[in-house]
Amino acid sequence: MTVTHDKGYTTTMRKINILATAALGTTLALGLAACGGTAGGGGNAAPASGASGAAASTAKYNDAYTKVVNPSDAKGGTLKFALTDEPDSVDPGNTYYAWNWDFTRLYARPLMTYAAEPGDAGLKLVPDLAEGAGEASADGLTWTYKLKKGIKYDDGTEVKATDVKYAVARSNFTDELTDGPKYFAQYLDADGYKGPYKDKNLDDFKGIETPDDYTIVFKLKQPFAEFDFLVANPQTAPVPQAKDTGVDYEKTVASTGPFKIESYEVGKQLNLVRNASWDPSTDTTRKQLPDRIEVQYKQNAEDIDSRLLAGQIQVDLGGTGVQTAARAKIVGDPKLKDSTDNPFTPFNRYAMMSTQVKPFDNIECRKAVQYATDKVATQAPWGGPLGGEIGTTAMTPTTVGYKAFDLFPNGADHTGDLAKAKEALTACGQPDGFETNIAVRGDRTKEVQVAEAMQASLDRVGIKLTIKKYPSGDWSSQYAGKPDFVHKNNLGIMVAGWGSDWPSGFGFLSQIVDGRFIKDSGNYNMMELNDKSVNDLLDKGIQTTDTTARNEIWAEVDKKVMESAAFLPFVYEKTLIYRPSTLTNVYVHPAYGMYDYTWLGVQQ
């Protein structure tokens, strides 16, 4: 692949790919006995050179991609975040934004997590609540975890195995919590379980057994070779049944991490303070440096950049990088540029065409959009080559199983093949073009600009787009992720982005291409693609224990999805992230493609 940054950075990305492949192979070959090391082998090794206080930064451009910048153990101060909209939820069991999976780790600990290290080592799984990796049965149908003893909630009560069981039950088997993934509902052998809001007897949930207070046994319908990666998602963070208040639980989450919720005003602000019950001896991957953490929601994107550059806030929580004006200012100033990192993220930025909205129920109409789109124009809002490589596949080059191909070449310069587009329009019975709506998250400036670029591109062949803007906080639950709304409002195209739930082809693809994941709300398969051959390949792959064979299957799934012409990739995303000099312990976590929020401190 062609990249615009230095060779060392490129090499690191390729090494991460290799490492992830090796990690998955170790996981399967050893029955998850050793992938990620022991409970004591976590990520605190990286900043061994850290001083008790942070000196003036001498860091350079992209340094936080390969090492910890401004290492420090100094405590105190207020760490300030800002976000352009609001989260889908701060409830760890009801969220699906990558930045929020990163952020919720400040107060919620799942069974497994990733090592707290930059570069290659950060993709290794390590135990979090669990004592070690899961033990799979010989037939692959049960996975057993042992909880560390003595882990407490912020009120001082001890975490028990039933709390993990309950957390999975509420996040996956209720109608009320719609925003998170439903992997456990699909793969656990739950025998028609209706969820704890309809059936308060947790013993009726047969998909998980808890033979004692510290043992958790997951019972599967079919083998799932990457199960340790699955339990690293925040839905295994424990929830005491007596404290669950449904959708309002996000206001009073029982904390197991280094911080706890002090106050939460939905849509306005979230404040965290230290959790005195957190025991660092049980936690190898987090720090507890600031006295408090403040998050402001619904902030203007350009204003966030200005406040970052002025040192008034420390982090743009969304992790999607600075906007056009700030990017130009930073790139033109060597000193400012040395305070930035330009990593590949796990994200593909793309549009999906709904196969259930006319005329996109006709594949030739979808092909017309593929050929007519000017991908240089859709790359521009992300910052041109600085913001990512032009994409041609569903999976990204940093996803294990990726193979390069291009089924819809749109000219040597990627600005569109209008002749091919017009041929496709004729084939779909719309030779003069057609009208449709394109949906975007209105607070995401780059996505709006991408929609405008598509509008201009497609107009060249008579396809007229009307841009519809919706809030990102309810994007999946009420708008683009709600098929009924999509159909009623003729949303033919939806601009979106996706990063892998864990570093494999399955972790990237399953939630956005499996037809069995199409939900009435919180849907991420916005193509509404339900191709049996795709679904069957996903099942075959996740049961395949040979790493090489499994990765070949993920590449095959990718090609079948692209053959549908419903998935239109724009860029394999890179971001330009600014780190103020007052921010300490800064590094890009490869599992999230943004800074590790659990390590950050602020210099006084």
Confidence of residue 361 (pLDDT cuts 50, 70, 90): very high
Average pLDDT over residues 8-34: 36
Cβ atoms of residues 443 and 563 within 8 Å = no
Task: Please report how many Cα atoms fall inside a 13 Å half-sphere around the Cα of residue 222, on the Cβ side.
Answer: 13
Calpha distance 257→347 (Å, rounded)? 27
| Band of pLDDT at residue 302, cut at 50, 70 and 90 | very high
d(CA 287, CA 143): 29
Rg (CA), the chain: 23
Q: Are 25 and 114 in contact (CB under 8 A)?
A: no
- What are the pLDDT digits (tens) for 452-488? 999 999 999 999 999 999 999 899 999 999 999 999 9
| pLDDT above 60 for 537 | yes
List CB contacts of 359: < 8 A, sequence separation 6 or more.
365, 428, 429, 430, 434, 436, 492
List pLDDT tens digits, range 57-81. Answer: 689 999 999 999 999 999 999 999 9
pLDDT of residue 499: 87
Query: Rounded to 5 degrees, what are φ and ψ at 383?
Result: 105, 20
pLDDT in the model for residue 459? 98
- State how far the Cα of 335 lies from the Cα of 530, in Å rounded to an integer: 50
What is the reported pLDDT for 398?
82
pLDDT of residue 36: 30
What span, in angstroms and rounded, lies between the C-alpha atoms of 203 and 11? 50
* Residue among 346, 372, 378 at smallest CA distance from 503: 346
Q: How far apart are CA 496 and CA 22, in angstroms?
A: 30
SS3 per residue for 257-301: CCEEEEEEECCCEEEEEECCCCCHHHCCCCCCCCCEEEEECCCCH
Burial of 99 (0-12, 13-18, 19+ CB in 10 A): buried
Q: Identify the weakest region by mean pLDDT among 92-96, 210-214, 340-344, 358-362.
A: 340-344
Give the whole-angstrom CA distance, residue 191 versus residue 207: 8
Residue 54 pLDDT grade (very low, low, confident, very high; cuts 50, 70, 90): very low
- DSSP track, 450-480: HHHHHHHHHHTTT-EEEEEEE-GGGHHHHST
Q: Are 554 and 567 in contact (CB under 8 A)?
A: no
d(CA 128, CA 440): 36
What's the rounded Cα separation, in Å, for the pair 41 and 355?
47
Helix (H) / strand (E) element for 324: namely: helix 324-331
Residue 172 main-chain phi, psi, to 5 deg: -110, -20
Q: What percent of the chain has pLDDT over 90?
A: 83
Return d(Cα 420, Cα 109) in angstroms, integer. Answer: 51
Helix axes 547-563, 532-542, angle to 10 degrees: 170
**pTM score of the predicted model:** 0.79
Q: What gap in Å lies between CA 58 and CA 487, rounded to an integer?
A: 54
Angle in degrees, CA 368, 370, 375, rounded to 5: 130
3-state SS assignment for residue 131: coil
CA distance 327 to 321: 9
Q: Check whether the bond before 359 is cis (ω within 30° of 0).
A: yes
What's the mean per-residue pLDDT of the chain?
90
Q: What is the rounded CA–CA span in Å between residue 175 and residue 104?
A: 22
